[in-house]
Amino acid sequence: MGLLSTKVTCNSHGQDSSYFLGWQEYEKNPYDRVMNPEGIIQMGLAENQLSFDLLESWLDKNPDAAGFKSAGKSIFRELALFQDYHGLPAFKNALVDFMAEIRGNAVTFDPDHIVLTAGSTSANETLVFCLGEQGDAFLIPTPYYPAFDRDLKWRTGVEIVPIQCSSSNNFQITESALREACEEAKKRNLRVKGVLVTNPSNPLGTTLSRDELNLLIDFINEKNIHLISDEIYSGTVFSSPSFISVMEILEERNYHKDSHPDVWDRVHVVYSLSKDLGLPGFRVGAIYSENNTVVAAATKMSSFGLVSSQTQYLLSALLGDKKFTKKYISKNQKRLKRRQNMLVSGLQKAGINCLNSNAGLFCWVDMRHLLQSNTFDAEMELWKQIVYEVRLNISPGSSFHCTEPGWFRVCFANLSQDTLNLAIKRLKSFVAESSPSGAHHSRESSKTRSLTNWVFRLSSRVREQEER
């Protein structure tokens, strides 16, 4: 009988993964244009830093929202006391409008069906607490966001069974992959409660096609299970095909809420302002569901992670300004597109291809041709070289549970244009130097061998960032 709980000693929080070790390296030797120009460039952080100027200029023009005032009168007291887990109505209204706007108003959301949570980290966990328990599993297509292992499994006791996707069809979800995942769950004695997809995908940067969405709906109907669609990147779609939310598919199929209540009871959307607005620090997440029992239970559970009232108030004003949101969504997408193009074309010049993407804050980069062998060990070796020699913190595909070695996620929206150009330059040099030259290779390999031991020694202080 341990002194502490089993949750403390197990490592379902997933923070021992290599994904987080890259952070450690970056923290020790962070790039700075002036102070540390040889340092490691952070490209493992899916943050959107491209559009703060738009937010700041709005704040400049709207002192009331900034100063806890409503029509000039101070509402500090009311905000300080407001802890109603139903959330600030003005904020929920503005949020659902924003969500609809991102979807080209092809879908509308009912503010009474939104549950506010402390980030989508909390939204995902809360939904799983409501839908599953020990002995249950959720199917998730690979590659997927590493922290799902923590968010969905750690405290809930629920398991994840991967739906294996491959580059042969650009990592799209297939029916056979879905069925295989079900079989796998059965073998592991797990009851499948649902499928969770991230749309647009992290790390792929692609949106789910209409076919994939229809396949998923058919599948969950057949099995009478849930579908959770994490649409945290929905506002980052910058080129065609345009974003299709699962909610749109339900509407298209004429699944009216009255005639087909059961399917509406099993489809849930997760959202957050961390990526689209670039505000991860504010901890604004949301669950959307037409299932009243889920909404009721999730609302109560949100007590464990409510959104700060002052943040709700600020954002209700910001998102309530429709002129602003229209301008923001459009400009932000244009900037993301330009940035992605820069990275893609830069990498191409180095002979490196990316998966064709139309969304997200990152590219899914194909470095298979740079591997010594088609193995995950080789992927780790390559990754270490990139971190220590090229001095870029990028994320290895294995940390996303990718079944094929050699893919890396590289972020492009959390650094300046100049820094991005420098990163591309470094990678280009590395690729050029890496072309066949035995002596050179063996020098590199011995360096990385000595690094292996060092990297896998766990530090007591991993500065984790809420990475997606």
Partner 1 sequence: MGFGNESHGLLSRMAVNDQHGENSAYFDGWKAYDRDPFHPTHNPHGVLQMGLAENQLCFDLIQEWMRNHPEASICTPEGLHHFSDVAIFQDYHGLPKFTKGVANFMSKVRGGKVKFDESRVVMSGGATGANEVIMFCLADPGDAFLIPTPYYPAYARDLCWRTGVQIVPVHCDSSNNFQITRDALERAYKKAEEDNINVKGLLLTNPSNPLGTTLDRETMKSLVTFINEKNIHLVCDEIYAATVFSTPSFVSVSEIIQDMEFCNKDLIHIVYSLSKDMGFPGFRVGIIYSYNDIVVSCARKMSSFGLVSSQTQHMLADMLLDDDFVDKFLAESSQRLAKRHSLFTMGLEKMGITCLPSNAGLFCWMNLRSLLKEQTVEGEMKLWRVIVNEVKLNISPGSSFSCSESGWFRVCFANMDDETVKVALRRIEVFVGKEGEKAKNVIKRRQRTTGLRVNSSSSKRFDESWLMSPHSTHIMSPHSPIPHSPLVKVT
- What one-character-per-residue DSSP string does 48-65 give? --S-HHHHHHHHHH-HHH
- 102 carries an active-site annotation: no
Residue type, position 35, single letter: M
Nearer to partner 1 (CB atom), residue 208 or residue 314: 314
How many angstroms separate the CA atoms of 376 and 225, rounded? 33
Q: From residue 434, give the alpha-carbon distance in Å to each of 366, 367, 438.
A: 16, 12, 10
**Interacting residues of 114 by C-beta distance below 8 A, sequence separation 6+:** 87, 92, 95, 96, 286, 287, 288
In the DSSP assignment, the letter for residue 232 is T
Are 158 and 268 in contact by the 8 Å Cβ rule? The answer is: no
The catalytic position among 145, 233, 271, 328 is 145
Q: Smallest distance, Å, CB 235 to partner 1?
A: 16
Q: Smallest distance, Å, CB 365 to partner 1?
A: 24
Q: Smallest distance, Å, CB 209 to partner 1?
A: 28
Are 45 and 411 in contact by the 8 Å Cβ rule? The answer is: yes
- 85 carries an active-site annotation: no
Q: Smallest distance, Å, CB 105 to partner 1?
A: 22
Nearer to partner 1 (CB atom), residue 150 or residue 401: 150
Omega before 63 cis (within 30°)? no
Nearer to partner 1 (CB atom), residue 120 or residue 234: 120
The catalytic position among 92, 153, 193, 275 is 275
From the list 205, 210, 269, the residue with the least C-alpha distance to 237 is 205
Nearer to partner 1 (CB atom), residue 279 or residue 423: 279
Structure tokens at 232: 């945290």
Nearer to partner 1 (CB atom), residue 84 or residue 183: 84
The catalytic position among 140, 232, 244, 394 is 232
- 275 carries an active-site annotation: yes
From the list 121, 120, 126, 129, the residue with the least C-alpha distance to 150 is 121
**What is the Cα Rg of the chain in Å?**
23
Are 305 and 282 in contact by the 8 Å Cβ rule? The answer is: no
- 428 carries an active-site annotation: no
Nearer to partner 1 (CB atom), residue 3 or residue 35: 3
Q: Smallest distance, Å, CB 41 to partner 1?
A: 17
Are 79 and 220 in contact by the 8 Å Cβ rule? The answer is: no
The catalytic position among 230, 233, 244, 329 is 230
455: number of Cβ within 10 Å? 18
Q: Smallest distance, Å, CB 419 to partner 1?
A: 15
Active site positions, annotated: 145, 230, 232, 275
